[in-house]
Amino acid sequence: MGTLLVTNGTVITLGAANRVLPGHDVLVEDGTVRRIAPHGEIVSFTGPSIDAAGKVVMPGFINAHMHFYSTLVRGLGKAAPSASFQEVLEHLWWRLDRKLELEDCFVSALVAGIDAIRHGTTTLIDHHASPFAVRGSLDAIARVVQEVGLRASLCYELSDRDGASVAQDGIDENVAFIERCAREDDPHLRALFGLHAAFTLGDATLERAAETGARLGAGFHVHVAEAASDQEANLRDHGLRVVERLHRFGVLGPRSIAAHCVHVDAREIELLAETGTAVVHNPQSNMNNAVGVADVPRMLAAGVLVGLGTDAMTTNMLEEVRAALWVRHLAAGNPSVGFVETLSTLLVNNPAIAGRYWPSLGLGTLVEGGAADLVLLDYHPPTPLDEGTFLGHLAFGIAQSVVDTTIVAGRVLMEGRKLMLDLDEAEVAAHAREQAVKLWERF
């Protein structure tokens, strides 16, 4: 990993005591931030450097709910129109994931990984499905993560919807990858136990998954009450609301992620808070699927840790957080509601979620002794930029700026908007088009 000096940028540390430091240098050694100092103060350094003049230097962004497998659907027009979320699943996503092969999983993740680098997203918590190519699918995605240099937590979404054999494959794939990550302890890879959603899991499968995850000490990553139909199915078939049912089986807890939570009631929010379960808000996906708007302020007020994900709508976390802000204002009918709280889902809460899986790295903050996961964005502030004005600059200026450089664990993945990887982006895209054509023919 070596050494690197990022010079003369406006360093924004984030963290509990965010600092805005114009004209500062960041010294990186062996994947760690060794020193942050005024420009020119680090005089003994003789290694490679990156000039950050005219740029803000920030911690890499974290995406707390992602689907690497969905990239090759882009432009597909063969799905029937859908009038409900259940139809979206049946007409598009469940048809697609049944046709995925391991090479599709790899290529889709590679395209998404490159896109993440281009948008300064350095850590992604992914949720994968390929029911007729289950075994080895997480290793295929992990190969992408390691090759392009990102960090990711992976899981396989267990479901009963494709039968007992596929469900067993899902359990086995989660177990194998969790055990691999524990054995290798690669700081780029982490594992959760994936569950699709409570409405596609019978009690027997859910019990086996919960017992297996507990034995392995793993948290769970599950879609929760994304649409009202999830609640309706669980009440009809099991006599419990979604969060209550997951709680009964021991799925909730501080290492677990409940994605979406659009249709949860007050008691479910209490359970999420009591168990320390993290919730991940995915506003663009929720709007696209017309399922509603999660009541993030209510969950935050109850003590729930609420982060931000994209559900694969984008890898651009700055785009996502702006969407979260606009939909919060619209849902409340009040343009003054939730400004700090919404931006904090990305800037404060996502680092807290990532810290549960990478506890010693300080991801999402730029501090001495923390991981050297950095992004440089072109930005000349037209008004004063300091700790008091930073959030306004982020929402209305920095978020629309171009990511110039992306660094993970001290490795420069992109500099001057040029990928520094041992691959050709045009060739990757060409190969992805070939794979997409084959996939679409099977769709």
pLDDT at 83 over 90: yes
21 and 95 housed in the same domain: no
Asked if residue 266 and residue 324 are part of one domain, the reply reads yes
DSSP 399: G
Residue 241 included in any domain: yes
Provide the domain limits for residue 30.
3-59+364-418
Residues 283 and 405 in one domain: no
As for how many domains the chain has, the answer is 2
Residue 435 resides in a domain = no
Whether residues 380 and 397 fall in one domain:
yes
Distance separating alpha carbons of residues 243 and 267, to the nearest angstrom: 9
Whether 440 is covered by a domain: the verdict is: no
Write the CB contacts of 77 (distance below 8 Å, at least 6 apart in sequence): none
Looking at the structure, tell me whether residues 104 and 214 fall in a common domain: yes
Clarify whether residues 172 and 154 are in a common domain: yes
Residue 2's pLDDT band, with cuts at 50, 70 and 90, is: confident
Q: How far is CA 36 from CA 46, 127, 239, 381, in A?
A: 16, 35, 56, 21
pLDDT-based confidence at residue 112 (cuts at 50, 70, 90): very high
Quick check: is 172 in a domain?
yes
Distances (CA, A) of 320 to 73, 90, 289, 298: 20, 26, 15, 20
pTM for the model stands at 0.98
Beta carbons of 91 and 83 less than 8 angstroms apart: no
Task: Please report which confidence band the pLDDT of residue 1 belongs to, taking 50, 70 and 90 as the band edges.
Answer: low
Final residue belonging to a domain, choices 355, 377, 392? 355
CA distance 389 to 144: 38
Report residue 94 CA to chain centroid gap.
21
Alpha-carbon distance 368 to 349, whole Å? 20
Helix (H, G, I), strand (E, B) or coil at 307: strand
pLDDT (mean) for 244-270: 98
425 within some domain: no
**Do residues 116 and 230 both lie within one domain?**
yes
Q: At 28, which CATH number? A: 2.30.40.10
Looking up residue 296, the CATH number of its domain turns out to be 3.20.20.140
Structure tokens at 399: 């978020």
Strand partners, 115: none
377 in the same domain as 290: no
Domain boundary among 355, 380, 396: 355
Residues 253 and 265 in one domain: yes
Which of 334, 355, 376 terminates a domain? The answer is: 355
Tell me if 346 sits within 8 A of 320, measured CB to CB.
yes
361 has pLDDT over 90: yes
Pick the closest to residue 349 from 279, 397, 435 (CA basis).
279
> Does residue 441 sit within a domain?
no
Instruction: Report, as an integer, the average pLDDT of 102-117.
Output: 98
Cα(388)–Cα(385) distance, integer angstroms: 8
Of 1-5, 32-36, 112-116, 246-250, the range with the lowest mean pLDDT is 1-5
Domain presence at residue 249 = yes
pLDDT tens for 179-213 read 999 999 999 999 999 999 999 999 999 999 999 99
Q: Is residue 438 one of the residues assigned to a domain?
A: no
Whether 26 and 82 share a structural domain:
no
Q: Kindly provide the residue ranges of all beta strands, DSSP E only, lying in 299-441, ordered along the sequence.
A: 306-308, 374-378, 403-408, 411-415, 418-419
pLDDT surpassing 70 at residue 434: yes
Mean pLDDT of the 260-273 span: 98
Phi–psi pair at 288, nearest 5 degrees:
-60, -40
- Residues 277 and 389 reside in one and the same domain: no
pLDDT at 44 over 90: no
Q: What is the pLDDT of residues 280-320, one digit of tens each?
A: 999 999 999 999 999 999 999 999 999 999 999 999 999 99
What order of strands is seen across the sheet that includes strand 306-308? 193-197, 220-224, 257-260, 278-281, 306-308
Mean of pLDDT values over 379-386:
98
Q: Nearest-CA neighbor of 275 among 255, 299, 296, 301? A: 255
Same domain as 324, residue 308? yes
Average pLDDT, the chain: 97
CA separation (Å) from 157 to 40, 138, 298? Answer: 50, 11, 28
d(CA 219, CA 255): 4
